[in-house]
Amino acid sequence: MAAAGLRGLAGLPRRGLRPAAALVSISLISGCGVLSSDDSDEEQQITVGTMSAPSTLDPAAAWDSSWELYRNVFQTLLSFPSGAAEPEPDAAESCKFTDGSNQVFTCELREDLKFSDGHEMDAQAVKYTFDRMRRIDVKGGPAGLLGSLDSVETKGDRTVTFRLKKPDATFPFVLSTPAMSIVDPREYPADKLREGSTIAGSGPYSLKSYQAGERAELVKNTNYKGVAERKNDAVTIRYFKKSATMVEALRDKQIDVTFRGLASQDVVDMQANKNAREGIQLVEGSGTEIRYLVFNPDDPWARKKPVRQAFAQVIDRPAIAHKIYQDTVEPLYSMVPQGLTGHGTGFFDDYGDPSDSKAANILKNAGINQPVPLTLWYTTDRYGSATEGEFKEIKRQLEASGLFKITIKGRPWTEFDAGTKKREYPVFGRGWFPDFPDAENFIAPFIGEKNVLNTPYPSREITDEVLPRSRREADRGAVADDFEQAQKVLVDDARLLPLWQGKQYIMASEEIAGGERALDPSAIMMMWELERKTSW
């Protein structure tokens, strides 16, 4: 494939992708018209509430929603500016594949880049970042995204070349993820994770102060050079445990914006109750967030395919979406969500509507004649307040069939995540916000002996055939058949069970503009898009 240009970024697909959160603003402001924003000499400060506190401040360790903070304080070579459906240069001035087979990718950095601490950010820092991540290789960490990377080379202070083991047209998308945040070699040890509560990055903001689980205070990084146009001067991020508490803080004007973790009941109340929504706007749109269950092959019951298939036959996704989430989510029958090339309905095609009798026959034919005992685990503080109710509904459905005996248990995220790394849970729930908007990112991270779930899932058909073939194709709209094949494997194994696909909601004070622009395709908030309206 010949290299071509796109604002300096070559060989990237244009078809088959849509931003993960195509948000539109639904006005819930009582008695107000459209507002405009003017320049103001007053310092613009915004306070954002979320339920996704970082698990670590070191990018080499995190493959989770810590990325929300990273996106705002670190810089990547490529990123997704507001409205973009494909990556564009950020710390880089230009990037492109420089061979004909998508195996050599070269970036030229912007001139005179600096970290927030004043240290130079050059090609050697970029190489150091990638070599460090792979050397430390945190279990379940972001190094798993670099499976196709062979080596990183530099030429002078501004040129970085990535040599890949095999063709991979998705590599520019990987470089755009906050996992590839460039770190300061003087501040981040080469062979171990950095400790402490400070960050040295080159992103739009500097981290002024940080209290784990409580708040992060961001101020403009005066050394920043990149694509972000900061519409405010400072952002405080407050971390909440409950959606209701977060929404109440918004009503009381303690915060200006809420995102990530909003409970369906709070969204529905805001939509329906005029008094509740006075002075508040709701920004709503489609998204590619998913929820799914994982079956552990180490467990004597979860390892049995007939058990997993019977489980899949009983699950009533529409009931979960309606009863627990009040239709603020949609049933999902594929690991690849709607809106991306490769989406399918494999679980519905194979299992149809929930059926206790069909599930009973699956178990009977496998010689299983007793209720199957399984313990289902969930995290109590990562995915929103409705998670407990969701698992209670799953327990109710399974036990109502008479085929299962279910125990449910929950843990806070840090303990829950540690348990997954030790492979303690027979069945557990996880959520996934895409690293980048491509069907591959809803399949590849979960497959192979080493994956983000720390639950080995060997599948040679996917890892040795489907993924290498699809990665040779720069036009991502042309890989639907590959991902249809991959999903047939996933449906047959029933090792991963998709449940629902979420919509995206932001609640904000009527004084705040920019919510509809603030989410990138991975539904990560770009805090610099938020601003306080200064004229009415």
Encode pLDDT of 104-113 as tens digits: 999 999 999 9
Structure tokens at 470: 């699809």
pLDDT bracket for residue 341 (50, 70, 90): confident
387: left (phi over 0), alpha (psi -120 to 50) or beta: alpha
pLDDT bracket for residue 17 (50, 70, 90): very low
Lowest mean pLDDT among 58-62, 190-194, 395-399, 447-451: 447-451
Distances (CA, A) of 304 to 6, 223, 248, 354: 49, 56, 46, 20
Strands (E), 243-318: 257-258, 280-295
Residue 31 has pLDDT above 70, yes or no: no
Calculate mean pLDDT across residues 215-235.
97
Which residue is it, tokens 């083991």? 165
Residue 99 has pLDDT above 70, yes or no: yes
| CA–CA separation, 69 and 237 (whole Å) | 9
Q: Are 172 and 105 in contact (CB under 8 A)?
A: yes
Q: Are 526 and 72 in contact (CB under 8 A)?
A: yes
pLDDT bracket for residue 274 (50, 70, 90): low
Higher per-residue confidence, 172 vs 21: 172
Q: Is 273 helix (H, G, I), strand (E, B) or coil?
A: coil
Share of the chain above pLDDT 70, in %: 91
- Tally of helices (H runs) and strands (E runs) in the chain: 15, 20
pLDDT computed for residue 3 by the predictor? 32
pLDDT computed for residue 318 by the predictor? 98
Closest by CA position to 20, among listed 335, 344, 333, 289: 289
Burial tier of 104 (Cβ tally within 10 Å: 0-12, 13-18, 19+):
middle
pLDDT computed for residue 7 by the predictor? 33
- Taking residue 272's Cβ as centre, other Cβ atoms within 10 Å add up to 9
pLDDT computed for residue 254 by the predictor? 96
Calculate mean pLDDT across residues 163-168.
95
Q: Which tens digits make up the pLDDT trace of 286-298?
A: 788 899 999 999 9
